[in-house]
Amino acid sequence: MTTMTKSHMVVAQNASGRSMNVPIYRFKGAVPGPTVYIQSSIHGAEVQGNVVIYQLIQALKEQDVAGEIILVPNCNPIGTNIKAGEYTLGRFDPVNGTNWNRGYFFDEEKVYAFADTVNENDDISTIRDDFLTYWAECIAEKLASPWGLGLAQQLNLKLQQLAVNADFVLDLHNGPVSTRHVYIPEYAKDSATLFNFPHCIFIPNKFAGALDEATFCPWWTLQDALSARFGRSIQFGIEAFTLEMGSQEVIQFSEGKVDAKSILTYLTAKNALPHSSLAPAAMKRVGVMLKDYKTLFTQWGGMVEYCVKPGDWVKRGETIARVLNIDELDTEAGCFAVEAPCDLIPMLHFPSASVLSGTQLFKVFTNYFTLTE
């Protein structure tokens, strides 16, 4: 039997001293298996992941689970409630200006310090259990800093404590105006085809502050250190991904069911759903290395018509945007085209038609390659 429990965790307090909570749904199986952690809406405007978690919960009620699956929807209630008119401005901590997804903990030197305590004859399960205890203590120590922490980092560390024991971590996001894509750490490249996502970005095994990196970097660093020290490959099998599931400020229940099925397919492959027969879809998937995931910044300001949609295959020289220059409406410079500098696939574009110079107009795949047909 699989049991579901629901609890709440305090993640912050508002200026009135009232607690802000997030719900935690846990599906616990009767048989051993992996621990899975899934959260959504660390950025306040990125709400589609909450629908995906809703659809996951409906599906998991009918599934047998091996191990445990932990789901935390709307994990950043502060960000969700930062509104300006009809827009949600929940990407940055309004007090300190910090990106809500950049305050997770990683300390390479602490990983090396633990690695020095490992004996060559220790088995993998012992090393794993000892490191989990050690790393949880490191996070708790950071959270208890006598100097205090900013709002975003406090929130991130509390969520990281929920995820610290997980074998597989999925952080659900959205772009401004976007199509589906997933960030895959290079060491887990074989898992790219386990999701039904058409676009895969392969990222280096380096820490830049996000939850997926905060999950896999400690384990990757430990694996690397022990493998070099003992002269043999050591693998712990921990994986973490950022899934981008379309545009922010929008929820679509039908699309949420599609993405929930994609996640269930991945969890089936990872033995979290022992009686599931789901298999990855036969579909065209393309990949790109992070260095070739480019941002097209504007050299000008104006009002923009976006002429290509996220996911379109665009040839070099094709018009990707048209710009209206208000000061030149009576001349030929009143309207000009922005052309693709190379063959590319746009993943997302700026959400507004009013654009300042230096704006991130498009983020695109370049030098992409086929993963599956």
Tens digits of residue pLDDT in 202-228: 999 899 999 999 999 999 999 999 999
Task: Assign domain 3-283 to a CATH class.
Answer: alpha beta
CA distance 243 to 174: 8
CB 273 within 8 A of CB 267: yes
Find out whether 182 and 193 touch, Cβ atoms under 8 Å.
no
Q: Which residues, at least 6 apart from 101, have a Cβ–Cβ distance to it below 8 Å? A: 42, 43, 156, 171, 173, 209, 210, 211
Quick one: how far is CA 156 from the chain centroid?
13
The pLDDT mean for the chain works out to 96
**Mean pLDDT score, 269-275:** 97
Determine the average pLDDT of the residues in 55-61: 98
CATH 3.40.50.11060 fits 292-365, yes or no: no
Q: Return the domain boundaries, the chain.
A: 3-283, 292-365
Average pLDDT estimate for 253-275: 98
Q: What is the reported pTM?
A: 0.97
Q: What is the model's pLDDT at position 1?
A: 84
DSSP 322-370: EEE-GGGTTSGGGEEEEE-SSSBEEEEE-S-SEE-TT-EEEEEE-S-EE
Confidence of residue 90 (pLDDT cuts 50, 70, 90): confident
Q: What angle do CA 56, 192, 30 make, to 5 degrees?
A: 40
**Would you state the pLDDT for residue 221?**
96
Contact of 156 with 104, CB cutoff 8 Å: yes
